[in-house]
């Protein structure tokens, strides 16, 4: 497996991608595929709009992985 393919697997959702993404993004030190990256950006935008964790009817549209990345970033920002 190529170095790129190994790097792409750092994004937890990449095991579901066929083929692997051709570009990778970084967010708070995490390597993400573009799909996850933009989901993280959108979830963070929604969180900022509400001023707190969004309700379950919003969260259900985002993976636990995406939610965890955003929540970890918010937790780190508050310390």
In this prediction, residue 59 carries a pLDDT of 96
In a 3-state reduction of DSSP, which class is residue 29? coil
Give the angle 79-53-60 at the CA atoms, nearest 5°. Answer: 135
Nearest-5° Cα angle at 42, 41 to 43: 95
Domain extent at residue 70? 3-78
**Distance of alpha carbon 49 from alpha carbon 6, whole angstroms:** 36
How many distinct structural domains can be found in the chain? Answer: 1
pLDDT tens-digit profile of 5-52? 677 677 777 666 667 777 889 998 888 888 899 999 999 999 999 999
Dist. CA 32–CA 2, nearest whole Å: 17
Residue 3: pLDDT band (50, 70, 90) is confident
**SS3 sequence, 16-27?**
HCCCCCCCCEEE
Of residues 74 and 56, the one with the higher pLDDT is: 56
């Amino acid at each position: 497996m190529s170095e790129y393919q190994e790097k792409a697997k750092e994004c937890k959702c990449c095991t579901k991608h066929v083929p692997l993404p051709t570009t990778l993004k970084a967010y708070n030190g995490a390597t993400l595929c573009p799909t996850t990256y933009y989901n993280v950006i959108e979830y963070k935008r929604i969180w900022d709009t509400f001023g707190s964790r969004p309700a379950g009817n919003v969260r259900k549209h985002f993976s636990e992985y995406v939610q965890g990345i955003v929540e970890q970033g918010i937790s780190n920002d508050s310390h």
